[in-house]
Amino acid sequence: MNEFIREGLNGYLVSGEMTKHEDIGIYAIEISPGAIKNKMISVMNKMFYPLLSRNSRYVVENLYSLEKNKKYFLDFLEKDLK
């Protein structure tokens, strides 16, 4: 779920090419093995890992907290789902 990742703040994303395969009902994303290797090396850096971990908690608690966003959620349920 990419919406939880803020590039360089709490993690890293690897871009790829969306492709359709005949035997698979959904699209697949083809990524470069070298690109994912580099991002994995970056995220496991002993200097950056504690920072990314701390930022991850901050992002989830502040942007995706149900308690903080319940007004918007209730408005959505009331108006958009009728």
Total domains present in the chain: 1
Model-level pTM? 0.58
Q: Quote the domain boundaries for residue 76.
A: 2-80
In angstroms, the Cα distances linking 4 to 1, 19, 54 are: 6, 23, 14
Task: Flag whether pLDDT at 32 surpasses 80.
Answer: yes
Task: Flag whether pLDDT at 25 surpasses 80.
Answer: yes
* The pLDDT value given to residue 34: 95
Confidence of residue 2 (pLDDT cuts 50, 70, 90): low
Confidence of residue 36 (pLDDT cuts 50, 70, 90): very high
Task: Flag whether pLDDT at 1 surpasses 60.
Answer: no
Q: How many residues does the chain have?
A: 82
